[in-house]
Structure 1
Amino acid sequence: MSSVLYLLIIVAFGLSVWAQFKVKGTFNKWSESPAFSGMTGAEVARRILDANGLHDVPVEPVPGKLTDHYDPVARAVRLSESVYYSNSIAAVSVAAHECGHALQHRDAYGFLVLRHKMFPVVNFASGVAPLLLLAGFLFQALNLLALGILFFSAAVAFQVVTLPVEFNASNRAKDILVRQGFIRNTEERGVSKVLNAAAFTYVAATLVAVMQLLYYISIFFGQSDE
């Protein structure tokens, strides 16, 4: 059973690597196609936030590529320079997605609230779990292995909860971009390509984590039967 799971983990890792290449390739492709509105990612984000009463949420540039995120603590939308200053379909898609998270925060979207509450625990668990698992394997200590699995499970649960948060933000982004006229109907395909590629990276990462968890559990029961 463990060997089958190990193979599945390798396959999941392969999908994760492919997903990273896919999202970069898709972003680069649609970065070459300007949206008909001519507005930059920063301008689109500002318009979306203001139209939804979030005048106090700043839109800030950050260095790097695909480093875009919404900071719930500072309540700020942060866009990479390739999104902030660009008027491409890729840029407005990503900008709208991050604004989708700001709208989730405003609406107290259930999965986002849960994710925020889980974060402090998961942050600790993610750091401790590898040490406990390693100690459990080295010393064949079932109690340490079980505790490591428990902490690792918290990290996996966090990734699972992240999925609906990301998909919901993307759905909000697509709806807003069309409804507020930032893109033409003919540009929806490009928006979907960009956002779907980004979403798949989360799916692949979650799949890897779930496979790893199942592998650790199989080892635990294998050792307990000896």
Structure 2
Amino acid sequence: MPFFYYYDPTYILVLIGAVLSLWASATVKSTYNKYSRVYSYSGLTGAQAAAQILRQAGIYDVRIEHVSGNLTDHYDPKARVLRLSDSVYGSNSVAAIGVAAHECGHAIQDQEDYVPLRFRSAFVPVANLGTQVAFPILLLGVFLGSSHFLIQVGLLCFFFGVLFQLITLPVEFNASGRAVRILRETGMMSDDELSKTKKVLSAAAMTYVAAAAASILSMLRLIILFGGNRRRD
């Protein structure tokens, strides 16, 4: 059969999502690398800045740990641990302090019972399970003769993963907003330094926007493919 017989035009949606994700990832890396060479006037490292921010927020039960990797920084609300990567923990650049402050923003969200963070944490197992079983259920629905019920269940399971990406957006944007405000109010950074830090945090935020967009596009593709199967029944 000719090659074009196998062409699936909906792959363009997956391709667009992949391009967006690659662009966002490349942007955050290049932006971070650029401002990781701009050292803060305070001389604080990422770990020292994080410790100072947590103390000023009245948080004394969150440990700060060094984790391997590049930009693998994260806050673990269950363990009450703020983990900073190789490029952040010991660096005194405006980029490193900005990332550390962002993760402190999550710790402060946790301390204040920020509702979107609580909802995201509770939704993690649902989203993980949904993304794991969505495709097997969809394929089983097709194998059994385009079962309407199974296809609907499969699409719903995949939607849980999309919803998780959307829930993540306000959590991340709020943490970045808190970081900028804290760095300004404490005088830890000058206005010039803050402008550079904002660029790093904005680039990082775009990775979450791109991930959400890619998930939505994948969901749309599944609806087109499997919705078409249902209409042909």
TM-score range, shorter chain: over 0.9
How far is the alpha carbon of 1:138 from its aligned partner?
Answer: 5.1
* Amino acid corresponding to residue 197 of structure 2 in structure 1: V
Say if 2:146 and 2:230, in contact at 8 Å, map to a contact too. no
- Pick from 133, 137, 140 the counterpart of residue 132 of structure 1: 137
> Quick check: 1:52 aligned with 2:48?
no
Two-structure CA RMSD over aligned residues (Å): 1.5
The equivalent of 1:215 in structure 2 is: 221
User: CA–CA distance in 2 between the matches of 1:108 and 1:121?
Assistant: 20
Say if 2:13 and 2:218, in contact at 8 Å, map to a contact too. no
How far is the alpha carbon of 1:132 from its aligned partner?
Answer: 1.9
The equivalent of 1:123 in structure 2 is: 128
Say if 1:5 and 1:211, in contact at 8 Å, map to a contact too. no
Deviations 1:70-129 (A, max 9, x none): 001101110002100000011000000000000000111111111111112112212111
Identity %: 46
- Pick from 75, 93, 99 the counterpart of residue 94 of structure 1: 99
Deviations 1:200-224 (A, max 9, x none): 0000010010111111112222111
- Pick from 162, 167, 170 the counterpart of residue 156 of structure 1: 162
* Amino acid corresponding to residue 64 of structure 2 in structure 1: V
* Amino acid corresponding to residue 114 of structure 1 in structure 2: F
> Quick check: 1:68 aligned with 2:65?
no
The equivalent of 2:195 in structure 1 is: 189
Give the match's secondary structure for 1:162.
helix
- Pick from 82, 102, 111 the counterpart of residue 106 of structure 1: 111
User: CA–CA distance in 1 between the matches of 2:220 and 2:111?
Assistant: 36
The equivalent of 1:179 in structure 2 is: 185
User: CA–CA distance in 2 between the matches of 1:11 and 1:153?
Assistant: 19
> Quick check: 1:41 aligned with 2:46?
yes
User: CA–CA distance in 2 between the matches of 1:27 and 1:165?
Assistant: 21
TM-score under structure 2 normalisation?
0.91
The equivalent of 1:23 in structure 2 is: 28
TM-score under structure 1 normalisation?
0.94
User: CA–CA distance in 2 between the matches of 1:140 and 1:102?
Assistant: 49
User: CA–CA distance in 2 between the matches of 1:182 and 1:83?
Assistant: 16
* Amino acid corresponding to residue 19 of structure 1 in structure 2: A
User: CA–CA distance in 2 between the matches of 1:72 and 1:123?
Assistant: 18
The 5-angstrom pairing of residues 142-153 of structure 1 reads 142=147, 143-153=149-159
5+ residue gaps, structure 1, are none
Task: Give the direction of change, closer, same or farther, for the CA distance of 1:136–1:206 in structure 2 (3 Å limit).
Answer: same
